[in-house]
Amino acid sequence: MTKRISTQGAEKRARELVEQMTIEERASQLRYDAPAIERLNIPAYNWWNEALHGVARAGTATMFPQAIGMAAMFDPDFLKEIADIIATEGRAKYNEFIKHNDHDIFKGLTFWSPNINIFRDPRWGRGHETYGEDPYLTGRLGVAFIQGLQGDGKYMKAAACAKHYAVHSGPEKLRHEFDAEVSKKDLWETYLPAFEDCVIEAKVESVMGAYNRTNGEPCCGSYTLLKNILRDKWKFEGHVVSDCWAIRDFHTKHLVTSTAPESAALALKAGCDLNCGNIYLHILQAFNEGLITEEDITRAAVRLFTTRIKLGMFDECEYDNIPYSVVDSKEHNEAALEAARKSLVLLKNDGILPLNKDRIKSIGVIGPNANSRLALKGNYYGTPSRYITLLEGIQDYLEGEDIRIYYAEGCQLAEERTSPLTMKSDRLSEALIVAKHSDLVILCLGLDETLEGEEMDTGNYTDSGDKVDLNLPAVQQELLEKVAATGKPVILVLTTGSAVNLDFADKNCRAVVQAWYPGARGGQAVAECLFGEFSPSGKLPVTFYSGSYELPEFTDYSMKNRTYRYIETEPLYPFGFGLTYSRVALRNLKVLNKVTRESDILLSIEIENIGDYDTDEVVQIYIKDNKSKFAVPNHSLCGFRRVSLKRGDSKTIEFKVLNKAMDIVDDVGNRYIDSDSFTIFAGISQPDRRSVELTGMKPLSVDISL
């Protein structure tokens, strides 16, 4: 492996370069749209680029499943490969853009991804940008994505950004003025661990501050978050960027400052180096008013040029010759298709799946997301050269077969879209006619970014991108109930980025497949899954609550009764749950070492495929502290492994559960081991009653005494 250029070496070069600049030139470089300094041969650079599940907003690129779908793979190794593909395409584009002297927005190498916020509340519209509700899973996947994006060469292949730091997960309509009040226990137990992993382990190059305040301080100007924790405690060496126009909120929404220069000064002195927005246009005014010093400006400029040097922007670089032909290539699209396959979660199957095409004469494909490209995308996406919708995937798969495929949209995505020219009754009656003429129905319901998304990007008519509740839009629920009432077998394929109320579907549909937003070729993956070309193997990275579950107040950031670690009732589909077409047996869970307060926990377990299909399975390890009053109420994920098993195969796999899995966080935020008694569980889902009921398989367990 090539030795990486050190941050210290790059910083030395950056400081030498910045020292040649005037104060005005240094200040100009703290904007996301940094201008050229021609006398120093420094080209213009726009820092704003996105790569959540493929290079976004910059034209053609391979589109992978939305982040929440990639989380459902429970596969950090593959996610790292995906991130490397994204970085490769980003480099290829950058190489061509600079040849054409194009330094515009979305053309650079600084990608503002991944989003590692905790998806604490299923109403949050941006939750599908995250890796789910669990800090451990989010940390493992965040580290993998960052390592893949940044690469292991002499220079960084691309610069990743962990966002939105910190304690950020809605409501979207309040984000510019909201104060997320959180206890120190919840802060250090839930909201910060993934950021800590990404900074300390993955060496993420950038961190983006959130819009909101946290415990009174605006996140992009928080001495607690940016200085005390990020720089002093975690020894972060990269640069900090504001969320876009977040610093403006200091004086217009949060009212912690009175003027734009005061806002610029607060952010800069707290440690926000780069402004996405326009408030750092007031940096020189803040300097002239004595609110900041020359060293404050210089420090930020040096950090930013350190990143550009680490990316090889001023040198010949090993990535300079990556050709444009890699963009949207066959190989990359095969990887996106494989990701879509691995992301699918089978929530219910009474035996109807996989479908046997030799026994079917007609299929009705019904629903507003059946032929929707937007339902493939999520948000923060690029432009694939080809889309395959759910309908198209089924049509392509059955081409040449003597099976009639009927199609009906059934209804609009939501009732707000219904117009006099497209009356819902007309669409509904057509759907019922299709169902009547079909042997079975594949019902394609769900959401898209216009119903769950970001405040400024969404067409949500109700709540600025957030969901009001967990119910499907009423027109879709009516469609579901009316189609189910026909008595025809119904397979529900759900394209959403979050949990929705599936109580009725669970009782009345023969099978339920959670497809997320599966990317450009998602329809092909779904069709192949339905007809048994592969066994589904995804797992839920979020809890699907029962319809009767009373969600806590959205603005309450306490973790009480939120997510699987703290839930006080029984979910419909638990975190970590997902069926396959096969069955596995787990045996011989063993602790391989003498566990002490200083040691990790080394485990081994045997897994055998005792079913009738080749399959992947995800073995999950959970830990429960049996004594400490500070322990989480339920149990915590502390290890997982995706395993591929041919029919009849068995494997012995080993786990290293890190010592910190035994830690608790007390009420003042201190983390330490506070118990001498733990239980380790190993299974294919959680060790809760509902998971056992759904999988028919009790987890193995072993007690550990220190």
pLDDT (tens digit per residue) in 231-276: 999 999 999 999 999 999 999 999 999 999 999 999 999 999 999 9
pTM of the model: 0.97
Q: Which two tokens stand for residue 102?
A: 């194009």
Q: Which whole-number Å values give the CA distances from 217 to 166, 225, 239, 276, 417, in the listed order?
A: 11, 9, 19, 19, 40
Q: So what's the pLDDT on residue 349?
A: 98
CA dihedral sign of residues 404, 410, 414, 417: positive
Partner residues linked to 700 by β-bridges: 682
Q: Which of 329, 441, 335, 341 is nearest to 391 (CA)?
A: 441
Q: Which two tokens stand for residue 195?
A: 């950021």
Residue 703 designated active-site: no
Q: What is the 3-state secondary structure (H, E, C) of 340-403?
A: HHHHCEEEEECCCCCCCHHHCCEEEEECCCCCCCHHHHCCCCCECCCCCCHHHHHHHHCCCCCC
Lowest-confidence region among 293-297, 420-424, 570-574: 420-424
- 533/590 same-domain check: no
pLDDT exceeds cutoff 60 at 460: no
Distance CA 540, CA 344 (A): 9
The reply to whether 207 falls in a domain is yes
Q: What is the separation of C-alpha 342 from the centre of its chain, rounded to a whole number of angstroms?
A: 15
Residue type at 247? I
Q: Which of these three, 284, 318, 352, is where a domain ends?
A: 318
pLDDT digits (tens, 9 = 90+) for 160-210: 999 999 999 999 999 999 999 999 999 999 999 999 999 999 999 999 999
Residue type at 412? Q
Q: So what's the pLDDT on residue 3?
A: 86
- 529/637 same-domain check: no
Q: What φ, ψ does residue 411 adopt, rounded to 5°?
A: -170, 170
C-beta neighbour count of 149 within 10 angstroms: 29
Q: So what's the pLDDT on residue 422?
A: 54
- 298/368 same-domain check: no
Helix (H, G, I), strand (E, B) or coil at 642: strand
The reply to whether 567 falls in a domain is no
User: Please, are residues 46 and 31 in contact by the beta-carbon 8 Å criterion?
Assistant: no
Q: CB under 8 Å, gap of 24 or more: what pairs does 469-473 form? A: 469/123, 469/501, 469/551, 470/122, 470/123, 470/499, 470/500, 470/501, 470/545, 470/547, 470/549, 470/551, 471/500, 471/501, 471/547, 472/445, 472/446, 472/500, 472/501, 473/413, 473/414, 473/415, 473/447
Catalytic hit among 452, 454, 463, 663: 452
**Full residue range of the structural domain in which residue 24 is found:** 7-318
Q: So what's the pLDDT on residue 415?
A: 82
Lowest-confidence region among 89-93, 400-404, 550-554, 589-593: 550-554
- 256/348 same-domain check: no
- 529/605 same-domain check: no
The reply to whether 125 falls in a domain is yes
- 108/226 same-domain check: yes
Q: So what's the pLDDT on residue 416?
A: 66
C-beta neighbour count of 252 within 10 angstroms: 14
Q: So what's the pLDDT on residue 224?
A: 98
Q: How confident is the model over 212-220, as a mean pLDDT?
A: 98
The reply to whether 392 falls in a domain is yes
The reply to whether 547 falls in a domain is no
Helix (H, G, I), strand (E, B) or coil at 293: coil
Partner residues linked to 616 by β-bridges: 644
Q: Which whole-number Å values give the CA distances from 377 to 1, 107, 164, in the listed order?
A: 36, 21, 21
User: Please, are residues 129 and 69 in contact by the beta-carbon 8 Å criterion?
Assistant: no
Q: How confident is the model over 384-407, as a mean pLDDT?
A: 97
Q: Which whole-number Å values give the CA distances from 457 to 61, 275, 450, 465, in the listed order?
A: 20, 20, 8, 8
Query: Domain of 127: which CATH number?
Result: 3.20.20.300
Q: What is the 3-state secondary structure (H, E, C) of 64-93?
A: CCCHHHHHCCCCHHHHHHHHHHHHHHHHHH
Max distance between CA atoms of the chain, in angstroms, equals 80
Catalytic hit among 243, 328, 463, 663: 243
pLDDT digits (tens, 9 = 90+) for 412-455: 999 865 555 555 567 999 999 999 999 999 999 999 999 999 98
pLDDT digits (tens, 9 = 90+) for 552-563: 999 999 999 999
Q: Which two tokens stand for residue 312?
A: 């090889």
Distance CA 159, CA 146 (A): 8
Domain count, the chain: 3
Partner residues linked to 31 by β-bridges: 275
The reply to whether 328 falls in a domain is no
- 352/287 same-domain check: no
Distance CA 557, CA 167 (A): 8
- 56/166 same-domain check: yes
Query: Domain of 460: which CATH number?
Result: 3.40.50.1700
- 439/513 same-domain check: yes
The reply to whether 119 falls in a domain is yes
Q: Which whole-number Å values give the CA distances from 492 to 313, 329, 371, 515, 680, in the listed order?
A: 49, 32, 15, 10, 35
- 296/349 same-domain check: no
CA–CA–CA angle 472, 476, 480 (5° rounding): 105
Q: How confident is the model over 319-340, as a mean pLDDT?
A: 98
Residue 50 designated active-site: no
Average pLDDT, rounded, for the chain:
96
Q: Which two tokens stand for residue 119?
A: 């998806």
Q: Which of these three, 318, 336, 356, is where a domain ends?
A: 318
User: Is the model more confident about 285 or about 547?
Assistant: 285
pLDDT digits (tens, 9 = 90+) for 54-70: 999 999 999 999 999 99
Q: So what's the pLDDT on residue 1?
A: 55
Q: What is the rounded (10 degree) CA torsion for 167, 75, 127, 638? A: -40
User: Please, are residues 534 and 165 in contact by the beta-carbon 8 Å criterion?
Assistant: no
- For 599, which DSSP code? S
Burial status of residue 415 (CB atoms within 10 A of its CB: 0-12, 13-18, 19 or more): middle
Q: So what's the pLDDT on residue 463?
A: 58
pLDDT exceeds cutoff 70 at 458: no
Q: What φ, ψ does residue 636 adopt, rounded to 5°?
A: -135, 135
Q: So what's the pLDDT on residue 464?
A: 78
Q: How confident is the model over 637-659, as a mean pLDDT?
A: 98
- 527/604 same-domain check: no
Query: Domain of 603: which CATH number?
Result: 2.60.40.10
- 670/631 same-domain check: yes
The reply to whether 336 falls in a domain is no
Please provide the DSSP assignment of 175-205 as one string: TTT-EE---HHHIIIIISHHHHHHHHTS--S
